[in-house]
Structure 1
Amino acid sequence: MTYCVAIKLETGLVFLSDTRTNAGMDNIAKYKKMFSWEVPGERCITMMTSGNLSITQAVISLLQENIDHPENGLETILTAPSMFKIAELVGDAMQVVQARYAQGMAQSGESTLSSIIVGGQRIGGAQRLFHVYSAGNFIEATDETPYFQIGEHKYGKPILDRVITPQTPLDVSVTAALLSMDSTLRSNLSVGMPLDLSVIETDKFIFSQNRRIEDLDPDFQKLSDGWSAALRKAFDEMLHLSI
């Protein structure tokens, strides 16, 4: 399984994903689920994947293949004129891969359900964030729904609902995303370290953060321990209230 969260703010975009995938408790592996492209000063794009690993890997590989070996006139995510068009290209690639493999996989009883979050900004346009589904259709984040989650989202949702608005500062949102991930890590063994973090500041067109957080990372461990202590303290205080 997996957990990925992306947040759209007035000041930028935050992306966070885990790296665990499993086909049973005795078959656990790590796979990168976050992919980034950068043309400094022109565009930054991040994608995160969830669902059938072979499908999402094929979609990302197809998008990269088109970048590396473009046919005459072929539009790619690095030449598309807008983030909306980039989302369409991701949806088109999803349709191609699903059409190629879905029937054969269905005959063997394997689901091809997959999701891809894609976000970023191109010069001359606003930052945008999309959630692409298995059929290739997609929705866009709004002020009313400023974040997307895919995978095991239920454990990390409460803190996001309480903290995140479009006006939330970028550093606060990074902390909220990390605590959302920490809650998921503690409650679901199908989500695991290391983590990948990507941050794009509005109108900067370069990643301000694009890094991996390894297991036992001291800063993440300190954040996790502090959150646990804060929750225990809050619970103790609730014991003095009566209903």
Structure 2
Amino acid sequence: MCERYVVLASLHLLILSVDHTKKTFVYEGLLPLAGMHLRQIVSAISYTFEISGSMIESRLICCQNSADFDMWIRHLQHQIKMANANCPISPINNISFLVPCDEQWKKKELMRHLLCNTILKWEGKPIQHLGRIQYLTMVQVATGCTGDSKERLLLLFPEDLLFLSVDKERTAITYEGKLPLTGIQAKEKSTVLGRLQFEITGSLTEPILITCSTAEDYEKFLFHLQKPEKNLDSLSLQPPPSIPKKSWQHH
């Protein structure tokens, strides 16, 4: 158990922690109420309930007293009911329909899905605050330490490159890491048919080999990630980027 502040909104449950040294709130998650299940855990000494759902990890929430517990149960049940009425689950939101995102309509729907639903093990500021998604596709990712290839969703934002994974059942999406664009470079490795590859290097990550499935994906990412030589001088005058909380993690 760890201390958290929970904020109930009309369609989401916001979870915050407190950094006592800086006296600030820290974002810990934004859970959609639509599709959420609530279960009371009866105990004489613990005022606890469980929340779960297809797109969120099960969590136990322990209130300080019976009054808080009763209030949360009442309001949360009501808001879950309202959220389900206003945001009915549609087959188009099912990840299995959208992955692999090999058509433009799938890419657009998956972008919308990621901005409106929970991403497991998310870290850092909300995905909605990273800016507009510039490009999205499914790639194979291999790191220098193992060489094993993993399927990943690769998202390009104005300032960050985001790595996500999809489970085998195509029911959940998990955060795998994020790299700041200012700290990485991309270079071509192979353009042989069936092996459209480029390599990402940088001071904050070991070399990452990206294999695209289509020429369009390959060209789009290289276009955005490769920096013109003329900008190198101006970039060198800027202070180095701050190290993100989780720049890269490979599972």
Structure whose residues are more often helix by fraction: 1
Normalized against structure 2, the TM-score is what? 0.26
| Structure with more contact order per residue of length (Cα contacts < 8 Å, sep ≥ 6) | 1
Q: Highest CA radius of gyration, 1 or 2? A: 2
TM-score, normalization by structure 1? 0.26
Richer in strand (by share): 2
